[in-house]
Structure 1
Amino acid sequence: MQDIAALIDAVTAAGPTPGRVAGLIAHDWGGAVAWNLAATQPERLERLVILNSPHPGTFWRDLRESPAQQAASAYMNFLCRPEAAERLRADGYAKLWAFFRGMSDTSAWLTPALQTQYEAAWAHGLQGGLNYYVASPLRPPTADDPAAAGVTLPNALLHVRVPTLVIWGMRDQALLPGLLDGLDAWVPDLRIERLPDASHWLLHERPARVIGLIDGFLASAQRAG
């Protein structure tokens, strides 16, 4: 959150609202950061857009109470292991590609050129990304680790009072649609757009639809202003 706050300061320093952006848009782990920034530093953004990234309250709830979400998130416990980076890197990133493709049919957009780009990025190191999983207790409980069942989240990290758009690919196999249930209890100014034919990779699968929804949401703020 400190990194994003510093970036906001840098890019808005010469603008009309220093320290504040019109919208913060985030997906997956970026969304985990964005949810918390919006909750704790709402003065930094006028609007929040989240794409397939669970709110900490609903994720915490379902990791404790939903067998389906626990099963869907079981991979997180593997990614916490010390040997995870080595195993993901082995055989030309075979296991990492299996994770990637297991979330949806990627044949329509995952071209050989794009695969090469991903692997070039992964070659710089995987542990930095994996450290998100290592650091977070929000993962399924196991016999050896209470994980999500062993933590309590303070209300200050759960209530988001900026207008929020959530765009959700309903075919996400890791983050199930049940994570949207009850979200309005923590995010009162909430709009949810469900994309029934998109998965976790909705940005690749339905780019025009996603961009159109974001543009419309941000434009409505300008009209209201």
Structure 2
Amino acid sequence: MDVTTRALGGHSFTVRTWGDAAHPMILMLHGFPEYGGAWDEIATRLSDRYYCVAPDQRGYGTSYAPDDVGEYATSKLVGDMVHLIADRGPVIVMGHDWGASVAYGLAMFRPDLVSHLIIANGVHPVPFQREMAAGGAQSEASQYINFLRSEGSEDTLAADDFGKLLKLFSAKMDMSWLAGDRLNAYKAVWRQSGLRGMINWYRASPLIVADPGVPVEMPDLPLDRLKVHCPHLLIWADGDTALLPISTEGLEDFAPSLTRAHVSGADHWLLHQQPDSVADIVSNWLG
């Protein structure tokens, strides 16, 4: 693995790479509260055939992290990655969690830069918003978003050596993978960046979270613009308690070239819990 600093749109970003740059490129986009190094287990398994590139996205790790919430609009997050791959595209794009939102943004708004789209436990904005507005299971599972959006949540999560940040995820999912040297590495990254930038992704998002049992009107979305026309692979682990399978129902309406694959024995953190399975699925699908 190589770690470099690159200027993207005039801002400094940390980028990790694995493999030979002459190979087809996979852009790997992490979610909350991770960083580019989260892809190491997957990238090392694919780097004999692919050039794997994993940036610390805006607000994360040692990359550009402005304080202003407006600087985390999806258009700006997607724009960062356009700068990274514009001289290389089209490339394969793979996203997890919040990284999936940027990956979908690239595929929908810059289809010229994306040859294949791979999502691992991430959601398309339309089915996800539909379920968060419905007041049902996904609305209930997403109530933590309201806490994260509240002022000062970063200070609460950072207290007691990030104890509350870890508890936020370990209460309902298996976090045994985040221990020892890996946990120390994550904490070092969190100390470097602070948590405000990464939490600002939630504050800047226009997604509406209904209260459980109190549905709200579905926002008016530009449905025709929110379609993925390239081949799309969705890898899903059903143990996820933050993102529920119901939020992927109807995805075929927005991605006509969709393939679904399931990973057993994993939850939201499938990239760490079942890296062999995930890498095999990716390799077989890409052929």
Shorter chain as denominator, the TM-score bin is: 0.7 to 0.9
Distance 1:9 1:113 in 2: 35
Cross-structure match for 1:195 = 263
Distance 1:103 1:42 in 2: 36
SS at match of 1:47: strand
Cross-structure match for 2:178 = 110
Q: Is the contact made by 2:135 and 2:210 (CA closer than 8 Å) also made in structure 1?
A: no
Letter in 2 for 1:116: N
* Structure 1: tracts of 5 or more residues without a match: 13-18, 220-225
Matches within 5 A, 1:1-225: 1-10=78-87, 12=88, 19-21=89-91, 23-107=92-176, 109-124=177-192, 125-142=194-211, 149=217, 151-219=219-287
Q: Is the contact made by 1:165 and 1:191 (CA closer than 8 Å) also made in structure 2?
A: yes
Distance 2:225 2:195 in 1: 28
Q: How large is the RMSD of aligned CA atoms in angstroms?
A: 1.8
Distance 1:164 1:176 in 2: 19
Aligned pairs, number: 207
The structure where strand makes up a greater share of residues is: 2
Structure 1 residue 88, shift from structure 2 partner: 0.3
Q: What TM-score does the superposition give when structure 2 sets the normalisation length? A: 0.68
Structure 1 residue 188, shift from structure 2 partner: 0.5
Q: What TM-score does the superposition give when structure 1 sets the normalisation length? A: 0.86
Q: Cα 1:66–1:141, aligned 2, differ >3 Å: closer, same or farther?
A: closer
* Structure 2: tracts of 5 or more residues without a match: 1-77
Distance 1:40 1:133 in 2: 21
The structure where helix makes up a greater share of residues is: 1
SS at match of 1:123: helix
Identity %: 38
Question: Structure 1 stretches (4+) deviating beyond 6 angstroms?
Answer: none
Q: Which gives a bigger RCO, structure 1 or 2 (Cα 8 Å, sep 6+)?
A: 1
